[in-house]
A and B are shown apart, each in its own frame.
Chain A
C-alpha cells in the first residue's frame, strides 16, 4: 500500500519536472564559468606535466621518437651522481639565501616609507614600480652597460676613488652579486606594491590606541605592524622561494654573448635551471633534463611544506579573532 502511494506520488511529482533542476543549473554554470581556466590548466599544465614525467623515464633526445627507450629510474639516479647537479644546487641555495631576504627586506622597507603621508608619495610609488614594467631582456642589456668590467659606469665611478682603474667583474667572478642587484632592481616594485596593500589594511585605530597607551614608533612597528603583516610576508616568502629556485632567464641573458650559441653561465651563477637547460638544449638529453625538473619540483614542494609548517610559529592567525 505504501509503495503504491509512494509510486503514485512520485509519478505525479515527476510529471513536468525539468531535466535542468536548480541544482544542476548551478553545477553547469559553475563548470562553464571555470571552463576557460580548466581547459587551459588541462592542456597547458596537466598534459605537459604528464608528458614530461613520461619523458623523464626515457632516453628521448628530441629526434629519436622511433627508437625511444624506457630507461626506468636511470635519469633520476644519474642526477644524484652528477657533480654539476650538486654544484648547481649549492649555487641556487646561495642565490636564494642572498636574493630572497634582500628583496623581502628592501621591498617591505620601501612600502613602509611610501605608506607615510608625504607629499608626492603617489609619484614616488610610480617611480619605484616602473622598473618592474621593463622587459627583462632590456633590463639586462642596460645593466650590462653599467656593470661591464672595463668600461662600465659602476667601475668607472669606483675608479674615481682608487689610485688605478678597477675592473671588478660584476658579471663573471662576482656575477652572483651583479645578478642579485639586477633582480632586486626589477622586483622591488612588485614586492613593494603587495606589502603596501597589506600595510593599508592595518586599522589605524590599533596604532592610535597603542600610541595612546604610550608605545613609541618602534614598538608600534614591532608589536602591531610587523605582526599583522606576517601573513603577507609569509605569502611573499613562499612565492619568492619558488621563484628563486626556478630562476633561469636572468643568468641566461647575462651570459648571452654576441652571436655565440654556446655561452655558458659563469660558475658563480651556474644555477640548477641553467644546468637543466644545458642538459636539454645543448646536450639533447630531454629525458635527463625532465627528470631534473621533476626533482626540482619535489625539492620545491618539500621546502614549501616546511615553510607552511613553520607558519604556526611566526605567522599571525586572525581566524581565532572573535573568540572571547
Chain B
C-alpha cells in the first residue's frame, strides 16, 4: 500500500495560520501586563553597608505583593533584592513614578500602587480625595522609628484635615529633605565683580540678592556670559508662600477658596521682585533661557553666580570650574524674620486603596528607616528624615564642612510647615506664572495684568477643585 504524501501547506492555509497566531498574540498582549521593576540608574555615591538594626520578629508572617511607584534610581533593584531577601514572603514591584499621569492611569484602572512617592504640596489634595492611608498605628508601633526622632520636615505628612497640615494623623514621612531656599554662591565670581565674599553666617535679604545679582550679571554685547541668580521656577509659589509666612500671611484666604494676590500689597511686592529679576535679565526666564539648559548646570560651569537650591544640591555643586569658589549660604529673607525653608519635603505615602497595608508598611518602613535610609544619609543627597542620622551626613571636604555648618543653622529654624492648597495641583500656579511672565516680559500684558491673570485662573482652578472634591 502506498503512503499518502504529506499535504503541502498552501499559501492560503499559511496565511490563515499566521493570522490566527498573530490574533492570538494580540489578544494575549491586551491582558494587563505585570509591571516589571525598571532598571535603576547608578547611585551617585556608594556608602559602605553599616550594621543593620535588628527588629523583633513580627507576630504574623507578612506576605503579599507590594507595588511601589517611585523613582527607579532611588528605589533601586538592590534595595528591592535586599528587602526581599530579608522578607521572603513579600515581593516588591517598582513602577516608574517619574510621570504622575501614570499614577492617575493606574488609579483609573482600579489598580493604584501601594506606595507612592510624592512631595509635601500634594498631601492636602490627596487627603481631600481620601487617597491616603492612615499610618499612625504603624508609626507608633514601629521599632525602627521613634516619633520623637522624626525631623520637623516630616510634619508635612501629618494632618488633622486637608486644611490642617502639621499635626494630627500621620500619613507618611520624608525619604530625606532639604532646606530648599538655601543659596549656592561662587565667591570667586563675587570677588571678580568687586563684591565682598558672601557671609555664610548671615542670611541675605532678597533686596541684597537682587543688588548682588545686578553686579554679577555680565553681558558681552547681547550675549549673557554670566547671570546673577537662578531659582527653580516650578516652586515659585512655594517661595511666595514661604516669604509671606515670615509675617504669618498666606497666598490664599482663610478657607483656601481664593488666591489673594492683586489685593495684597505684600504679595504683589514679592511677585514684583521675581518679575524684576526676570525683566532685568538677572535670572533665567522664558525670555532668557539658561545657557546650559538648567541653572544647576550653569552654576557648575560658572555661568551662574548664585543658585537657590536645597541642601541636596551640595552633592553635585562642585565641578572643576567652580571648586575654588563654591559655597553654601543661608536662605534669603524678606523681612528679616527667618522661616524654615523646607518647601518640598519629598517622601511617600501608602495609598488608601492598598489591599495589604501590613506588607506595604513593611516595605515602607524598610525604605524610610532601615538600611536604605542610612545609605541615603551617607550619600549626602539630602538631610535624613531621622534626626539620629544627621551625624551620618558627609563632612570630609572643606565644602561639605562649610555646607553642614550652614545647614545646622537652617535646621534650627523649625517653623510650622506651609499649608498648601488642597483644591489645586502643585504645578498650577507656577505654570500660570511661567505663561504670564512670558507675555509680560514680551510686553503683551502689563505686570498688573499678569497678576490679575494668575489670580483669576488660579481661582477658576480652585473652584473646579472644590466642585470635584466636595461633589
**A: which residues have CB within 8 A of B?**
29, 32-36, 39-40, 43, 59, 61-65, 67, 69, 144, 148-151, 155, 159, 162, 164-169, 171-173, 257-264, 266-267, 270, 278, 281-285
Provide the residues of chain A in CB contact with B30, threshold 8 Å.
39, 43
Q: Decide if A150 touches B224 in the complex (CB within 8 Å).
A: yes
Q: Decide if A283 touches B425 in the complex (CB within 8 Å).
A: yes
Q: Decide if B234 touches A261 in the complex (CB within 8 Å).
A: yes
10 contacts between A and B (CB under 8 A): A32-B19, A36-B22, A67-B469, A150-B223, A165-B222, A166-B221, A169-B289, A258-B290, A283-B461, A284-B425
Q: Decide if A259 touches B444 in the complex (CB within 8 Å).
A: no
Q: Decide if A266 touches B431 in the complex (CB within 8 Å).
A: no
* Interface segment out of the listed B168-176, B179-187, B382-390, B433-441: B433-441
Question: Quick one: CB contact mask for B405-433 with A, threshold 8 Å, 1 for yes?
Answer: 00000000000000000000101101100
Q: Decide if B291 touches A148 in the complex (CB within 8 Å).
A: yes
Q: Decide if A267 touches B438 in the complex (CB within 8 Å).
A: yes
The docked-state distance in angstroms from the alpha carbon of A173 to that of B286 is 9
Known: A67-B468, A165-B220, A267-B442. A149 touches B233 (CB 8 A): no
Provide the residues of chain B in CB contact with A64, threshold 8 Å.
129, 468-469
Known: A39-B23, A61-B468, A67-B469. 8 other contacts (CB 8 A): A29-B12, A39-B30, A59-B467, A258-B297, A261-B234, A264-B286, A264-B435, A267-B442
Q: Decide if A261 touches B427 in the complex (CB within 8 Å).
A: yes
Q: Decide if A36 touches B26 in the complex (CB within 8 Å).
A: yes
Provide the residues of chain A in CB contact with B286, threshold 8 Å.
172, 264, 266-267
Interface size class of chain B, counting residues whose CB lies under 8 Å from the partner chain = 35 or more
Known: A62-B104, A167-B222. A262 touches B430 (CB 8 A): yes
Smallest beta-carbon distance A171→chain B, Å = 6
The docked-state distance in angstroms from the alpha carbon of A150 to that of B288 is 10
The docked-state distance in angstroms from the alpha carbon of A56 to that of B339 is 44
Smallest beta-carbon distance B1→chain A, Å = 26
Interface residues of B in 196-229 (CB under 8 A from A): 220-225
Give the one of B20, B131, B286, B288 with max A CB within 10 A: B286
Q: Decide if B293 touches A150 in the complex (CB within 8 Å).
A: no
The contact of B425 among A35, A69, A282, by CB within 8 Å, is A282
B82 interfacial by beta-carbon distance below 8 Å: no
B129 nearest in chain A by CB position: A63
The contact of B104 among A63, A270, A285, by CB within 8 Å, is A63
Q: Decide if A39 touches B438 in the complex (CB within 8 Å).
A: no
The contact of A35 among B23, B108, B444, B464, by CB within 8 Å, is B23
B13 nearest in chain A by CB position: A29
Q: Decide if B223 touches A159 in the complex (CB within 8 Å).
A: yes
B295 interfacial by beta-carbon distance below 8 Å: yes
The docked-state distance in angstroms from the alpha carbon of A150 to that of B20 is 58
B53 interfacial by beta-carbon distance below 8 Å: no
Known: A62-B108, A258-B296. A171 touches B439 (CB 8 A): no
Question: Quick one: CB contact mask for B269-303 with A, threshold 8 Å, 1 for yes?
Answer: 00000000000000000111111011111000000
The docked-state distance in angstroms from the alpha carbon of A63 to that of B468 is 9
Provide the residues of chain A in CB contact with B194, threshold 8 Å.
none
